Structure 1
Amino acid sequence: MKKYFLLLSLIIIAISSCTKSDSTAVSAAQQAAIDNSLIQSYIKANNITATEDASGVYYSIITAGTGANPTVSSTVTVSYTGKLLNGTVFDSSPALTAPLSGLILGWQYGLPYINTGGTILLLIPSALGYGTTSPSASIPANSVLVFTITLTSFTTSSTGK
């Protein structure tokens, strides 16, 4: 009888551990709520005045710049620093030129708020950054990203010509 009880106990423990790993999975909505809470805490702790975009990106315009605004179809030249919420710098560049449509969604939503010469602080929820993937050892999955970006210049290709 003890053998059966022991076997039954082992089966229950095995099934329970499978259920636990499934229950620890975080849904996209739960992750969005976690990210929003982390961003709110960061804003408060660093005394930042930021606006939330409809996409969920928070932004603070440091310098507006002048002229027109880039669009997703623009090719932008920027200098930037990317950090995690704990202050760890994971990337920076004095001059990156790239199509805005090829960059992370957080940049696509945030950069159009400034003009040439403008600088913006973007607080990007994980879903609009790298999501559940870890693009490098320095950026864990589900990371909220903090970018300070200066828009040096941009060009927008004309269509239909």
Structure 2
Amino acid sequence: MKSIITIKYIVICTFLLFGFVNCKEKAQQRKRVTKDMLLEMNRQMVNTEQEVIQKYIEDNGLDMQKSETGYYYQITTPSNADSIRIGDGVVLAYTTRLLDGTICYSSATEGLMNFTVGKAQVEAGLEQFVQVLGQGAIAKLILPPYLAHGLAGDDNKIPKLAILMMDIEVVEIIHPVAEHSK
């Protein structure tokens, strides 16, 4: 009787072990497939976003350039002043809207935007772009989601995966005071 219980125990343990190993292998296969699928979905999403932006630019007769990182811009009023640098404080008049024209934020209602370049206080694309501007510059900027608020939006007025259009004017640049050595 004891040997039958032992054999049943061994058979049950073998089935459980086989099931565990089989489930683990299937989970690893799903993980690989999921990673590949996510990479392909990301590529397709970026391509679709670029097509939407290009169509918006064409439909609205804009003359925009594309940066190496993927934002689009048009400087409507250039500046002869020095460009903004990392560490500079920046004050902007701005309007942020969705491509359908919905205004999300504006300095007319929210007040001027203040941030320090290099501190990741604003959208990555905006922080990159202002570094080509100087005092008094006026520009249009289109940010794809990966340079704006991405998958999550801003939990307020900007939805997830939103492409943003920004009109900005550099009102003031605040250069940090250099420490003088004695």
**TM-score bin (small chain):** 0.7 to 0.9
- Which residue of structure 2 lines up, in the alignment, with residue 18 of structure 1? none
Give the count of matched residue pairs.
140
Deviations 1:6-26 (A, max 9, x none): xxxxxxxxxxxxxxxx77997
Instruction: Kindly state the Cα deviation for residue 31 of structure 1 after the two structures are TM-superposed.
Output: 2.1
Task: Structure 1 unaligned segments of length 5 or more: list them.
Answer: 1-21
Task: Kindly indicate which of the two structures has a greater share of residues assigned to strand.
Answer: 1
Q: Deviations over 1:22-74 (max 9, x none)?
A: 77997332221121111101100000000000010100001012311112322
Aligned partner letter, 2:135: T
Tell me, in whole angstroms, the C-alpha distance in 1 between the residues paired with 2:157 and 2:40.
Answer: 22
Q: Aligned AA for 2:163? A: V
Give CA deviations for 1:95-125 in whole Å, capped at 9, x if unaligned: 2221133211111121122210011100001
4+ residue runs over 6 A deviation: 22-26
Query: 1:77, 1:116 → 2: CA distance?
Result: 10
Aligned residue type for 2:154: P
Q: What are the superposed Cα offsets for residues 111-152 of structure 1, whole Å, 9 maximum, x if unpaired?
A: 122210011100001000000012134311111100000001
Aligned residue for 1:45? 59
Give the alignment's TM-score, normalised by structure 2: 0.70
1:32 corresponds to which of 36, 42, 46: 46
- Highest Rg: 1 or 2? 2
Structure with more helix by fraction: 2
- Residue in 2 aligned with 1:92? 106
Percent of counterpart pairs with the same letter? 21
Cα 1:28–1:67 change in 2 (3 A) is same
* Pairing 1:64–2:83 present: no
The alignment's TM-score, normalised by the length of structure 1, stands at: 0.78
The 10-residue stretch of structure 1 (111-120 or 27-36) with the greater mean CA deviation from structure 2: 27-36
Equivalent residue, structure 2, for 1:140: 159
Aligned CA-pair RMSD:
2.1
Match of 1:83 in 2: 97
1:122-161 aligned at under 5 Å gives the runs 122-157=141-176
User: Mind listing any 5+ residue stretches in structure 2 that lack a counterpart?
Assistant: 1-33
